[in-house]
Amino acid sequence: MLNIGKKKILTVRTLGDNVLHAKAKMVQRIDDEIRDFGKKLIETMYAKDGIGLAATQVGVPLRIVALHVDPPTDKAGNVIMPLSPGEAELCHRMPVVLINPEIVSFSPALETREEGCLSVPKIYAPVERPVSVVLRAQILDGPPLHLDCGGLLARALQHELDHLEGVVFVQRVKSPDFEEILPALEKIIRKSGNRHYSIKRLVS
């Protein structure tokens, strides 16, 4: 039992909640409970105006991610080509729920872009990540995937799959950017009531 109740919109946990650092477990069987949870994950993502939401962010330690990433467009609204195979395959399907997603390889090329997170509300900071990734996953009630993903999709996948490993993006923010957002992060942590919480940084 997932113990998510009957509410359509789930509670998104915020920095300071230890559940955000729990490593998610594999989904062993896709049943009606998982399907219902997938729908609620999408509804919660939309209600919070996000482009991605991991199950761990709503207190469910399973390897499930909801995504809605649109393809890149120019000022006139035209899709910028060429798309990566992953963008071409997935963007027109959005929203999608990925079951047991994993990144099997990362590009050597890196880029730094600003990120935000529903679990760290109203805070944005630059994070360096690989430009593209190879994703392996199962779409909920859809086909298995093995795709090279680039663009915003690649970044969103890395961000959300970090959540499944118990990592929040602010742990990847380098100095001096980290120090700039630290007072705001501490305010969020205080609201959580977890006096013993500290941010375990993964970069310096």
- Residues annotated as catalytic are 160
If DSSP states are collapsed to H, E and C, what string results for 192-204? HCCCCCCCCCCCC
The Cα–Cα gap between 123 and 117 comes to: 8
Burial (CB count within 10 angstroms: exposed 0-12, middle 13-18, buried 19+), residue 54: buried
The Cα–Cα gap between 172 and 90 comes to: 26
128 in Cβ contact with 110 (< 8 Å) = yes
